[in-house]
Homo-oligomer: A and B are copies of this chain.
Amino acid sequence: MSVMPSFVPSSDARPDCELCRSPGGRLIAQHGAWRVVRVEDADFPAFYRVIWQAHVAEWTDLDVAQQHECLGVVSAIERTLRAILAPTKINLASFGNVVPHLHWHVVARFDWDSHFPQPVWGTRQREVPEGAATRLACDLLLLDDAVRSALPPIGGGQPGAAAAKNP
C-alpha cells in the first residue's frame, strides 16, 4: 500500500473551523486545492469526502475552473466505487449546515445497507448484523489505494502522483 499522506492545514486555516483544523476523516490524498478523506462510519464503510482546502462555504464561491477541478475529484471517486463495489447507487451531497466549509460526500449505497433507500442522514431501515464492511467486495485499505490511484494528478503526470508527492 502507498504511504499515508499527512494533513497540512491550508494557509488560510481558521481556528474555529473543524475542517480547517483537522483532516475530517482518514486522509487518502492531499492536493494544493483539495483533499480526500474516508469517513470511518460502520454503517457506510465506502464513504469518502472531497474537502476544498481553502475555507469557502458555498459551491459557487469557487470559480468555474475550480468547480470543474473539484467535480473531477468527486467523479474519479464515484467511478472507482462503481467499478470495484458495484453499489446499488452512488450518493453525492454537499451540505455544510454544521461545518460551513465546502466538502462533498461520495457514498456507495447498497440495497442491504442500514438506511437504504433513505439518505445516510435519514431513518435507519434495518440492522446489518455482520457489519457492512464485511459485505463489501474489497478490503477498505485496498479501496483507499484504488481511490488514491484514480485521483487527478497535480499539474499533469500520472494519476496517483498527488498522494505520492505528499510525505
Contacts and interface: CB of A to CB of B under 8 A. Distances in A.
Interface string A73-104: 01100110010000011111111111010000
Q: From DSSP, what is the main secondary structure of chain A's interface residues?
A: mixed
A94 B91 contact: yes
Given A60-B82, A122-B122, A95 B97 contact: no
Contacts of A79: 60
Contacts of A60: 75, 78-79, 82, 90
Given A68-B68, A122-B121, A122-B122, A82 B58 contact: yes
A68 B64 CA distance: 9
Contacts of A116: 97
A98 B116 CA distance: 9
A96 B109 CA distance: 10
A121 to B, nearest CB: 4
A89 B97 contact: yes
Interface residues of A, number: 33
A59 B119 contact: no
Nearest to A90: B58
Nearest to A113: B97
A70 to B, nearest CB: 10
Given A93-B93, A121-B122, 11 more contacts: A58-B78, A60-B82, A60-B90, A67-B75, A71-B71, A91-B94, A91-B96, A97-B116, A97-B119, A119-B119, A119-B121
